[in-house]
Amino acid sequence: MRPWYWLGSLWAVVAMTATAQAGAPTDTAQIRRWSEQARRELSSNNDSALRHSRYVVRLARQLSDGRGLAQGYLLLGSALRNKSDFDSSLYYGQRALTLFEQQGRSEGEAATYNLIAQTYKRMGDGQTIPLLTRKALRLGYQAEAAARRGPHYSELSRAYITQGIVYRDLGRLDSAEQCYLKALHVEQRFHPQPSFLPVVYADFGQLLMDRDAKLDEAIAYFKRAIPLYEQQNNRNGLEHAYRNICWAYRRQGRFQEAIAAGEKSLALGRASGDPHRLCNSLQSAYMAYRAAGQPARALELLDEWKSTQDALVNVDIAQAVAKVEAAYAAEKKQAQITRLGEDNARQKQQLWALGAGASLLAVLLLVTAQQYRIIRRTNAQLQLTNGTISEQNQRISEQATRLTVLMKELHHRVKNNLAIVSSLLRLQSNRLTDEGAVRAVREGQQRVEAMVLIHQRLYQTDNVGSVDMRAYIHDLVDGLLAAYGHSRTYFDVQVEVESPPLDIDWAVPLGLILNELLTNAFKYAYANVAHPALRVYFGPTADHGLVLEVQDNGPGLPPPDSSNLRRSFGQRLVMSLAEQLGSQLEQENRGGAYFRLRLVPLPAAFVVTTAAPSTVEA
């Protein structure tokens, strides 16, 4: 339950009062009037606020009003954030921040930092990326610093609220409480306008409900916020308050009161124009009806809730497709401009060739002058188009950075999940009494650990699609050496890796094969060996393939007809993985067991970069 998006509904009053100068021209007064209209609509009708914000930007550009343009960008960024168009919201927020800094308007800077912080906070919620949430916290502190320069108490209060909400999402509830109390102190001592006092009441009540389960006190704070929201005509704030009251009543078992509050929240959510807010209100109303034992209405709300969520996902996909299409259109337009430039050059050469006779000199001069004007217009169009392409490239680069962060987070989570599986297997093995079962479970744990190492390597590097085989093989050998109770002080280990980093589709089966071969050696080879030795080699072949060799100095392989533990599940797993890689495992006795896995020549896409050989001896 993250209902805080209504914070942006009151942000612009302080920034607007800075433009209210005595004797301002009529055109500037018109910009202020439309800005005030858009500001009021942010908390009641976001679609209308979006239209009026765009009009403010167009009018300010026509009148060359820098102050009005900065305010228009801030309004537009807030409306786009409420529509979940986060990229566009950040784009206009940055433009507003640049203008406010140039104009020395600390109120506007604080308001814009609050807007950008709230946008990153919502991005962190939707994408579950803590990095974005922590960035929102840093921006909240920048908003506080800008507000203190005034001081501008309204924006200072909102900065404290923003920090508190982010701390709550990060699970630092005591820090969140301190921020809310600071905001409450500012509101009660300085009475700033616009006032964020109802916001403080609602957020503090939510903290009491979620952290302390003090439902009666939480409801009292929500009810304090409602009349203040009504005075401000803040529909988003009212929706948030009624939704939280619905949650609290439901938890108390007061189902009819919960249904009444849920219906009020749902009506306000439908009128807000914010799909995320509507999803939250549908969820709370559905849960109230379900708890009250009214399945028909509950199912109706559940269907609408899921449909709204699916629509939000489709909107995100449509926005991504639109950006790709825009980039393609820009590239196509650039090609057309290039061809146009080439055509113009050829036409100019032809015009110069026509100057063969003095009788045509006047005509030639007129044509040349005309061509010169065309070229100047074309150059102006080229400059404008180049600027647009540069902006698109910058936004695409930011998207690529976000995708890289997402992939690292994905590998990190996979690694954590595998580590949990490994821990569960370890705990299970400690509870078993049968030695065979214990051995089987621990071998399964070691296979999981082999995959954990791969995903750990992936999220610790910038190249999230490939694995550094040199570091991985060293880590795997050291881990198994310690797991079977051996020490490098008496163990002769030779590891030589000449392979480049590999794609994860090849690295995972290779890692599992190597894990099985090493486990086989540590289990069976060194029981009666005074000076144990192990050699591992992984590198290229003459025909551009790869070869993996593992050799010990134990008693060697048993006869083919012998029933030995080496012909177990592990060996069948190795054979299966070798077939998956299009290869076959060769094994023989060479002063001990010797295994050789030769891989066919690799496609270029699997070999990422080259790496220098590495040899470790002990």
pLDDT number for residue 186? 93
Given a cut of 90, whether residue 161 has pLDDT beyond it is yes
| 326-327-329-330 Cα dihedral, nearest 10 degrees | 120
Q: Whole-model pTM? A: 0.48
pLDDT number for residue 21? 38
Domain borders along the chain are: 1-150, 354-464, 484-617
pLDDT number for residue 415? 55
Given a cut of 70, whether residue 89 has pLDDT beyond it is yes
Instruction: Burial-class residue 382 by CB neighbours within 10 Å (0-12, 13-18, 19+).
Output: middle
Among the listed ranges 8-12, 155-159, 283-287, which one has the minimum average pLDDT value?
8-12
pLDDT by residue (tens digit) across 213-229?
889 998 999 999 999 98
State the Cα–Cα distance between residues 82 and 275, nearest whole angstrom: 8
Structural domain 484-617, CATH architecture: 2-Layer Sandwich (3.30)
pLDDT number for residue 452? 66
Residue 115's pLDDT band, with cuts at 50, 70 and 90, is very high
Contact residues for 461 (Cβ-Cβ < 8 A; gap 6+): 468
Given a cut of 80, whether residue 100 has pLDDT beyond it is yes
Most confident residue range from 67-76, 357-366, 554-563 = 67-76
pLDDT number for residue 22? 35
Given a cut of 70, whether residue 236 has pLDDT beyond it is yes
How many distinct helices (H) and strands (E) make up the chain? Answer: 20, 8
pLDDT by residue (tens digit) across 43-58?
778 888 899 999 999 9
Among the listed ranges 132-141, 159-168, 193-202, 382-391, which one has the minimum average pLDDT value?
382-391
Percent of the chain with pLDDT over 90: 34
Among the listed ranges 1-10, 20-29, 87-96, 118-127, which one has the minimum average pLDDT value?
1-10
Q: What is the mean pLDDT of the chain?
A: 81
Contact residues for 91 (Cβ-Cβ < 8 A; gap 6+): 77, 395
Report residue 111: phi and psi, to 5°: -65, -40
Average pLDDT over residues 21-34: 67
Average pLDDT over residues 183-199: 91
pLDDT number for residue 145? 94
Structure token pair of residue 569: 């599940």
74 or 486: which leads in pLDDT: 74
pLDDT number for residue 456? 64
State the Cα–Cα distance between residues 243 and 266, nearest whole angstrom: 8
Reply yes or no on domain 1-150 having CATH 2.40.30.10: no
Length of the chain equals 618
87 or 462: which leads in pLDDT: 87
Report residue 352: phi and psi, to 5°: -65, -35
Most confident residue range from 320-334, 414-428, 560-574, 589-603 = 589-603
Per the CB < 8 A criterion, the answer to whether 599 and 545 are in contact is: yes
